[in-house]
Amino acid sequence: MSLQIQMLGTGSAFAKTFYNTSALVRSNGLNVLIDCGVTTPKSLHDLQIKPDDIDGIVISHIHADHVGGLEEIAFRLLYESNRKKTKLFLPKAIADILWENTLKGGMYNPADGFNSLEDYFHVLIIEENKPYEIGPGLTIEYIPTLHIPEKPNYSLFINGRIFYSADTRFNRDLLLQEVVDNRNCHTILHDCQLSGKGFIHATLEELLTLPEHVQERIYLMHYSDNMNEFIGKTGRMTFIRQHEVLELPES
């Protein structure tokens, strides 16, 4: 059996060409989003995928380029699909702040009984560092990683063999010891800041210090609009493109 990952967007928070980085995971009839940024609904529209077609959404952290599309998805399910809810997977640290700090301003509607995240989504709290079965043949595991100090942020293991960084600073030990040596991940989808200092993201310069056998497993995402200037300068690593589909083994 295979698992598909289609990139709905591959751009950074400020990219205008490639949309916000998010992915659609297809497995055994399930369609699950990883993150839902401001441009994610537009990308779904481009692919003729409706909110009704989405079985769940996995959230890595609460920056707008990762959660800014949740309001549109929720409202469209509410008003176009007869109050249908979709599943929202997230750790408790994110669930505690997503509504109050991000979504409440636009979605709070006490007159109609919409007072919380649970009024719009089937909220499923996922324990950190523990695989969780979303559906047959599809598990996710949340791993705390450093992006912005003192703000909850997570990378993901998908079926234990695919690493999806979301947003994180460069962590050589995590990549070499846990991702490659311990878990033998065959596929690594990693955010990549193409130039400048890596204050909150892994930089291309840092990722190029990894051994070639690790680089060969890496697809670069979350890059800026000048990505074309760096083609041929990424070592053994490959840029993944918007709407590109990876056909991967389930395990």
- At 164, the pLDDT band (50, 70, 90 cuts) reads very high
CA distance 175 to 155: 11
- Give residue 220's Cα distance to chain centre: 13
Over residues 99-141, the pLDDT tens digits come to: 999 999 999 999 999 999 999 999 999 999 999 999 999 999 9
Q: What structural domains and CATH numbers belong to the chain?
A: 2-128+139-243 (3.60.15.10)
Catalytic: 108? yes
Contacts of 240 (CB under 8 A, 6+ apart): 7, 10, 189, 219, 220, 221, 246
Determine which one of 71, 164, 219, 223 is catalytic.
71
Beta bridge partners of 203: 193
Structure tokens at 10: 């591959």
What are the DSSP E strand ranges found in 62-136? 87-90, 122-125, 132-135
Over residues 184-237, the pLDDT tens digits come to: 999 999 999 999 999 999 999 999 999 999 999 999 999 999 999 999 999 999
Say if residues 172 and 205 touch (Cβ distance below 8 Å). no
Which residue type is seen at 65? D
CA distance 60 to 166: 7
Alpha-carbon torsion 79, 81, 83, 87, what sign? negative
Tell me: pLDDT of 242 over 90. yes
Residue 80: CB atoms within 10 Å: 12
Instruction: Give mean pLDDT, residues 30-38.
Output: 97
The radius of gyration computed from the CA coordinates of the chain, to the nearest angstrom, equals: 17
Tell me: pLDDT of 250 over 90. no
Determine which one of 108, 133, 216, 229 is catalytic.
108
The residue behind tokens 């990308």 is: 43
Catalytic: 120? no
Question: What are the respective helix, strand and coil percentages of the chain, to the nearest 5?
Answer: 30, 30, 45
Contacts of 80 (CB under 8 A, 6+ apart): 51
- At 9, the pLDDT band (50, 70, 90 cuts) reads very high
Q: In the prediction, which pLDDT does 1 show?
A: 59
Instruction: Give mean pLDDT, residues 85-95.
Output: 97
Tell me: pLDDT of 27 over 80. yes
Q: In the prediction, which pLDDT does 83 show?
A: 78
Structure tokens at 1: 């059996």
Torsions phi, psi of 142, nearest 5? -85, 130
